Amino acid sequence: MHFIPNLYLDPGSGSILIQIAIAVLLGLGVALRASWGSIKKLFGVKPKQEEDDDSENVQS
Amino acid sequence: MSKAEQLSASFRDPSGFLFTDKGILYRQINRAYSNDYARLIDSGLYGRLVKANLLIPHVESDQLPAKSEAAFKVIQPERVPFISYPYEWSFSQLKDAALATLSIQKRALKLDMSLKDASAYNIQFVRGKATLIDTLSFEAYKEGQPWVAYKQFCQHFLAPLALMSYRDVRLSQLMRVYIDGVPLDLASELLPAKTKFNFGLLTHIHIHASAQKRYSDKAVAPRAMGMNKQALTGLIESLENTINKLTWKPAGTEWGDYYENTNYTDSAFEHKKVLVREWSVEKNPALVWDLGGNTGVFSREAASSGAFTVSFDIDPAAVEQNYRTVRSNKEQNVLPLILDLTNPSPSLGWDNRERDSFGARGPVDMALALAIIHHLAISNNVPLPQLADFFAARCTWLVIEFVPKSDSQVKKLLASREDIFPNYTREGFEAAFGSRFKIHKAEAVRDSERTLYLMEVRS
């Protein structure tokens, strides 16, 4: 697979195909959420706090 | 090459490897990995992950590389006090390790990096938290690239967690059989049919398993169509949601009332706690193994002396409860683990040298063997001299409790079988252990028929 350099794990053909299928589906959700955020922003609703990169390793 | 020795588990990834020299642990980074390493540091990802206790800290070292032709750099990572394996973890430990891996991947993607592996063996419990110990697990993320570690993540984390949650918690032991995680077709077969109505398990395990089977002998070169960062984030979040929803709670009486089914009086129990604490403070061990540690009450007495204490027990429910205590009290030096002392973790993997056996991870400064001897000597029929040999190979100091036949717990064990243990007496015990240990103290435990010993191994 030309787009993955220095591969040392075998990602598995089936595993790649299925994750692309799932990801495309779920990516739509992420995209919708993002655009919903900007629509809300248009109307002056403050966006929800994104996960803070410096937040602790909180293990529930 | 110096006298440096490459670690036997560190050979798969060409990015680098671990070696020790004069007892210090180093990681060599190979030239092939130099760009990714630079990116890890320069992007700020390393700093953020270390600050969040998600990645092991390291310092760059002047140590000579072990294999100089390929070398780019040598780093010295912080040493993990005790290496444990997923088949020794309770449900919540494996779950936290899975969530830590996904949290790392999400943070990495934000800075245009991605995990190139998602092995449960790359996670260790450091200061009580699930922490990635492989600094070389990151690579630059290229738009369109799928997650190469997706299959490994599902095998190492999702499949065993789903089996533990939906079928039986003891299925974590499949990790002991399958070194690269539970095969998804096996997980799919063992999981109850109702898991097909759970979107995450349907897709990441059941459909994933069929896709693997269907395409097993076909090479695919999928165009990067649609697999942008948003799609990848959706995939990671879906795994996160699926794992967050998996739970396990032991049913009924197993849970919670461990010390209520014993014959201890409060004063005997307190007396034992005091003795363990005093002797731990007196001998000041760095590393303690509590063998048969239950929910960790006595492990915490030893740990209060400052020792890092590994609390082993055979019962997944006790270990689960112990780990939840560690988490809620934010304890940094108690590590609960599942271990069957009558069949402890063996050496596993390539050449039997990838995962160390229980014994090979010792010996330690001090071991506790409280209320366990009757289980080993009577339930498991191990003769006392062999028990003495076993403990002598594993510790310098031994705190061991002798439980006589007149004790109600031992009476219970003997109720259903013939007493074939004529030597199981206090005298027999002292003779057997006295030949391998110097007995420093023998204290009668208040309000009981038991005796607590402090012994030092004879060299």
Residue B103 has pLDDT above 70, yes or no: yes
Is it true that the peptide bond before A47 is cis, omega within 30 degrees of 0? no
B3 compared with B136, residue with greater pLDDT? B136
Nearest-CA neighbor of B60 among B107, B83, B27, B88? B27
CATH fold for the domain made of B254-457? Rossmann fold (3.40.50)
Nearest-CA neighbor of B391 among B358, B437, B459? B437
- How many other C-beta atoms can be found within 10 angstroms of the C-beta atom of residue B169? 18
- How many other C-beta atoms can be found within 10 angstroms of the C-beta atom of residue B274? 13
Q: Which of B13, B145, B234 minimises the CB distance to A4? A: B145
Q: What's the rounded Cα separation, in Å, for the pair B387 and B286?
A: 24
Chain A nearest C-alpha distance from B93 (Å): 9
| Neighbouring residues of B50: CB distance < 8 A, sequence distance ≥ 6 | B56, B57
Determine the distance from the C-alpha atom of residue A26 to the mean position of all C-alpha atoms in its chain, rounded to a whole number.
Answer: 8
Which residues of A are less than 8 Å from B237 in CB distance? 26, 30
pLDDT of residue A1: 42
Rounded mean pLDDT, B405-409: 92
C-alpha distance from residue B107 to each of A24, B82, B87, B100, B163 (Å)? 20, 27, 27, 11, 28
Rounded mean pLDDT, B109-134: 97
Rounded mean pLDDT, B346-352: 95
Asked if the ipTM is above 0.90, the reply is no
- How many other C-beta atoms can be found within 10 angstroms of the C-beta atom of residue B227? 24
Tens of pLDDT, residue by residue over B192-228, are 999 999 999 999 999 999 999 998 888 776 555 568 8
Cβ-Cβ pairs closer than 8 A, A with B, add up to: 149
Tens of pLDDT, residue by residue over B357-404, are 999 999 999 999 999 999 999 999 999 999 999 999 999 999 999 999
Q: What percent of chain B has pLDDT over 90?
A: 86
In degrees, to the nearest 5, what angle opens at C-alpha B47 toward C-alphas B34 and A51? Answer: 120
For the ranges B261-270, B339-348, B352-361, B408-417, the lowest mean pLDDT is seen at B261-270
pLDDT of residue A3: 46
Which residues of A are less than 8 Å from B43 in CB distance? none
Q: B52 vs A54: CB contact, 8 Å cut-off?
A: yes
Q: Quick one: which H or E segment has residue B102?
A: helix B91-110
Rg (CA), chain B: 24
pLDDT of residue B186: 98
pLDDT band at A39 (very low <50, low <70, confident <90, very high): confident
Residue B4 has pLDDT above 80, yes or no: yes
Q: A17 vs B222: CB contact, 8 Å cut-off?
A: yes
Beta-bridged to residue B457, according to DSSP, are: B437
Chain B nearest C-alpha distance from A44 (Å): 25
Which residues of B are less than 8 Å from A51 in CB distance? 106
Rounded mean pLDDT, B78-102: 98
Q: B212 vs A19: CB contact, 8 Å cut-off?
A: no
pLDDT of residue B251: 65
DSSP one-letter code for B55? B
Asked whether B19 and B5 are in contact (CB, 8 A), the reply is yes
Q: Which of A7, A15, A55 minimises the CB distance to B212? A: A15
Chain B nearest C-alpha distance from A45 (Å): 23
Q: What's the rounded Cα separation, in Å, for the pair B306 and B285?
A: 8
Residue B320 has pLDDT above 80, yes or no: yes
Rounded mean pLDDT, B127-133: 97
DSSP per position, B193-208: GGGGGSHHHIIIIIIH
Rounded mean pLDDT, B123-144: 96
Asked whether B399 and B368 are in contact (CB, 8 A), the reply is yes
Q: End-to-end alpha-carbon separation of chain B, Å?
A: 34
Residue B245 has pLDDT above 50, yes or no: yes
Tens of pLDDT, residue by residue over B14-24, are 999 999 999 99
Residue A55 has pLDDT above 70, yes or no: no
In degrees, to the nearest 5, what angle opens at C-alpha B160 toward C-alphas B159 and B165? Answer: 100
DSSP per position, B217-238: T-------TT--HHHHHHHHHH
Asked whether B280 and B302 are in contact (CB, 8 A), the reply is yes
Closest-CA residue of B relative to A2 is B221
Asked whether B8 and B360 are in contact (CB, 8 A), the reply is no
Residue B96 has pLDDT above 50, yes or no: yes
Asked whether B97 and B160 are in contact (CB, 8 A), the reply is no
Residue A5 has pLDDT above 90, yes or no: no
Which residues of A are less than 8 Å from B106 in CB distance? 51
Domain range annotation of chain B = 5-77, 86-245, 254-457
Phi, psi of B451 (to 5 degrees): -130, 140
Alpha helices in B172-315 (DSSP H): 174-177, 184-190, 199-201, 208-214, 229-245, 266-283, 297-303
Structure tokens at B303: 């740990």
B298 compared with B220, residue with greater pLDDT? B298
The order of strands in the sheet holding B287-291 is: B334-338, B308-313, B287-291, B364-369, B395-402, B451-457, B437-444
Average pLDDT, chain B: 93
pLDDT of residue A42: 77
For the ranges B107-116, B181-190, B210-219, B341-350, the lowest mean pLDDT is seen at B210-219
Tens of pLDDT, residue by residue over B414-459, are 998 889 899 999 999 999 999 999 999 999 999 999 999 999 999 8
pLDDT of residue A49: 55
